[in-house]
Amino acid sequence: MIYKLLIFLTIFSMPFSRILLFGIPYFNIHWLSLFTIIGYGYINLGNKKQIWENHKYLLQPLIYFVIIFIVVSWWNDSDYVSSPYTFVRQLVLVILTMPIISECISRRIIKIEDINNYLLILLTFLSVLFLLGIGIEYDEGRLRYFGNNANASAMTFVFGTAILFHRILNKKYKIVSILLLLFYLVIIANTGSRSAALVFFIIPIIYLIKSNYSLRFKIFLFLIIIVLLIIVAVIFSNVGVLEERLSAENPLEGRTNIWNIALDIYMINPIFGIGASGWEAEITKYFWKYRSPHNIYLMVLLYTGIVGFYFMSKLWIRIIKISKHVIDRDVFLYYSIMIVSYIAFITDSGLLMSYLFWLFVGCILGMYNLQFVKYKKITSIS
């Protein structure tokens, strides 16, 4: 029961990570929840060596990446630096929580359905706040919750729509799920997030292609998806900010300018990169303020070079391999989300610090470990 409460708090507190407690820097309810579940988990889950053995397949390349990131950022430290160590702190925190989630799943302390419910509770709560106009603001016409990045908020809602779509297909709470799905789409449109819109359109298609349904049922689902996407297009076209961003002559003009500059900066040190501090120092020479690379793959190359990219690619491939080995419909949902996340974050760079992303990874690895122990059918995939 304690683990369920702690996991619920870590999920529910995500949008409030910018609200400081007692005015202490970096001290907020989300970080407090993460520290609590990490401390409680590693104290009470037993054999630390066994936990490491259960998760080293994913943790090893991730740890190597973090070490390279820290060393390169330290080596290229500058007076401009403000983001690298924030990045490390948050990345380490979410990484440490991933094995806890995985162990809770594999030991049947919590079910994936519980985690889905927690996320939907959060999103429904945020929807009520949207209706009441509490905790929201508009930056250049884009909806933001409690000062958080609009794309991050939108992606959270997209993951919620994936869960609802999954429930509709499995005939669970169909009417409620459809109503929530449409309302979530209105909020996504108000964020103006093009990457979130892209993910929403791709998730049902991947889910349909990879499912084991009969051809007749797939055709039926395909027709439903077409009708749904038409409705979505109507919703999106009636929300000015997203319609304006999508209908621009070159929707990615700002991003492509940054990417072209980033490629030039990357060539300063293509082997080890220039670190987050080096990137901040270089990009502020071109813009009046710090700019994100807006591309997860380019960000890894810039921060850690081809060496760091090797370990991060190894991690991503291993996540996909594990998810393909798990025989479970809920994990298949996360598998679909994982694939489209990789695609969508071509235009963003927040994937590595997303607690929700590592939560999904923990769920997949937990189900893999549970299945490995239960059925003894899956051999090592390393």
> pLDDT by residue (tens digit) across 204-221?
777 676 666 676 776 777
Lookup: tokens for 299: 């960000």
pLDDT score for 347: 66
Q: Confirm if 58 and 315 have CB atoms less than 8 A apart.
A: yes
Round the average pLDDT of the chain to a whole number and report it. 77
| pLDDT value at 114 more than 70 | yes
- DSSP letter for 28, please: B
CA distance 71 to 65: 10
Q: Quote the radius of gyration of the chain (alpha carbons, Å).
A: 21
Q: Confirm if 112 and 330 have CB atoms less than 8 A apart.
A: yes
| pLDDT value at 271 more than 50 | yes
Lookup: tokens for 259: 């990417």
Q: Confirm if 70 and 266 have CB atoms less than 8 A apart.
A: no
The pTM for the full model equals 0.82
Q: How confident is the model at residue 306 (pLDDT cuts 50, 70, 90)?
A: very high
Helix (H, G, I), strand (E, B) or coil at 136: strand
Lookup: tokens for 201: 């359109």
CA distance 341 to 358: 12
β-bridge pairing 142-145 and 136-139: antiparallel
Which residues have CB under 8 Å from 158's CB, separation 6+?
A: 188, 196, 199, 200, 203
Segment 110-133 shows an average pLDDT of 89
Following CA atoms 61, 63, 64, 65 in sequence, which dihedral angle do they give, to the nearest 10 degrees? Answer: 90
Lookup: tokens for 7: 């996991």
Q: How many CB atoms lie under 10 A from the CB of residue 347?
A: 18
> Pick from 120, 125, 100: which is nearest to 110 by CA?
100
pLDDT score for 202: 75
What percentage of the chain reaches a pLDDT higher than 90? 5
* Highest-scoring range by mean pLDDT, 79-83, 120-124, 200-204, 371-375: 120-124
Q: How confident is the model at residue 321 (pLDDT cuts 50, 70, 90)?
A: confident
DSSP output for 295-340 = -HHHHHHHHHHHHHHHHHHHHHHHHHHHHHH---HHHHHHHHHHHH
Q: Confirm if 192 and 347 have CB atoms less than 8 A apart.
A: no
Measured over the CA atoms of residue 136, residue 5, residue 342 and residue 160, the dihedral's sign is negative
Measured over the CA atoms of residue 346, residue 147, residue 74 and residue 61, the dihedral's sign is negative
CA distance 104 to 54: 12
- Looking at per-residue confidence, does 41 or 46 come out higher? 41
Helix (H, G, I), strand (E, B) or coil at 248: coil
CA distance 281 to 103: 41
pLDDT score for 172: 74
Residue pLDDT, tens place only, 341-377: 776 666 666 667 777 888 888 888 888 887 765 544 4
pLDDT score for 183: 83
| pLDDT value at 257 more than 70 | yes
| pLDDT value at 236 more than 70 | no
Backbone conformation region of residue 28, classed left if phi is above 0, alpha if psi is from -120 to 50, else beta: beta
CA distance 301 to 309: 6
CA distances from 144 to 88, 152, 208, 238, 333 (A): 24, 9, 32, 19, 27
